[in-house]
Amino acid sequence: MRVLIAEDDPDLASELAKVMRAAGFATDTAENGEDAVHLGDTEPYDAAVVDVGMPRLDGFSVVQQWRAAARNFPVLILTARDTWSDKVQGFRAGADDYLTKPFVSEEVVMRVRAMIRRASGYAASIVQCGGLVFDSQMGGFEFEGEPLRLTGFEWRVLSTLMLRKELVVSRSELIERVYEFNSDANSNSIEVIIGRLRRKIGACMIETVRGHGYRLTCSRE
């Protein structure tokens, strides 16, 4: 899964990107509002973390422009403002959650996970597909009762398929959601990751839909 971090403080942006990557997410960063709008309009993000006080265009305006353009990925607003009126402004702009500075970086990860889960249509944090269980709040997988050890790329692919279980996800979409902006990704690399996942959870759980992509199926033969 892929997240945009729009933050003009380079130290904070770097820290957030580091924590999000450690949690398994692909991350891109924007240091001003105009760049954030452009990336949100052109890249397929699962969520965005947006600071209010950015140069060129403030965070509220960024979210408003995304929503006006029908960009519906969930957005977490970061701000030093803690008044109720500021929170109302954020939600009216189209934000899904609001976090006041200072904060613990790991809380951002938890809130982003919760936003993505809700956007995918799951109210509960536990998502199950056959013997595969995904704790979408903590980010961990189990398979047949045992913890599943995954690389970062494997986690991004499997979590994307898990939140869309029984639906076909195209190779191009997986590439866009697994790799960061300007990466040298290709369909062959996705096939390698799919192959490794099949060895860990069983080949029959990830179906190749010829000409379209892959589907995580919950009924194993």
Instruction: State the CATH number of the domain containing residue 149.
Output: 1.10.10.10
Please indicate, yes or no, whether residues 54 and 109 belong to a single structural domain of this protein. yes
Reading the block at residue 129, the tokens are 């597909």
**Residue span of the structural domain in which 149 resides:** 126-216
Written as tens digits, the pLDDT of the chain (221 aa) is 899 999 999 999 999 999 999 999 999 999 999 999 999 999 999 999 999 989 999 999 999 999 999 999 999 999 887 777 778 888 899 999 999 888 888 899 999 999 999 998 888 889 999 999 999 888 899 999 999 999 989 999 999 999 999 999 998 888 888 887 766 666 578 899 999 999 999 999 999 998 889 999 997 54
Is residue 221 situated within a structural domain? no
Is residue 61 situated within a structural domain? yes
The pLDDT of residue 221: 47
Please indicate, yes or no, whether residues 79 and 50 belong to a single structural domain of this protein. yes
Q: What is the helix (H) or strand (E) element at residue 132, kind and residue range? A: strand 132-135
Reading the block at residue 67, the tokens are 């929503």
Is residue 149 situated within a structural domain? yes
- Asked which of 90, 119, 148 is the last residue of a domain, the reply is 119
- Asked which of 57, 89, 119 is the last residue of a domain, the reply is 119
Alpha-carbon distance of 122 to 52, in angstroms, equals 28
Alpha-carbon distance of 66 to 86, in angstroms, equals 19
pTM, entire model: 0.84
Please indicate, yes or no, whether residues 68 and 173 belong to a single structural domain of this protein. no
Domain count of the fold of the chain: 2
The pLDDT of residue 73: 94
Q: Check: CB of residue 11 under 8 Å from CB of residue 34.
A: no
Please indicate, yes or no, whether residues 29 and 111 belong to a single structural domain of this protein. yes
Residue 215 DSSP code: E
Alpha-carbon distance of 181 to 8, in angstroms, equals 18
The pLDDT of residue 211: 85
Alpha-carbon distance of 111 to 113, in angstroms, equals 5
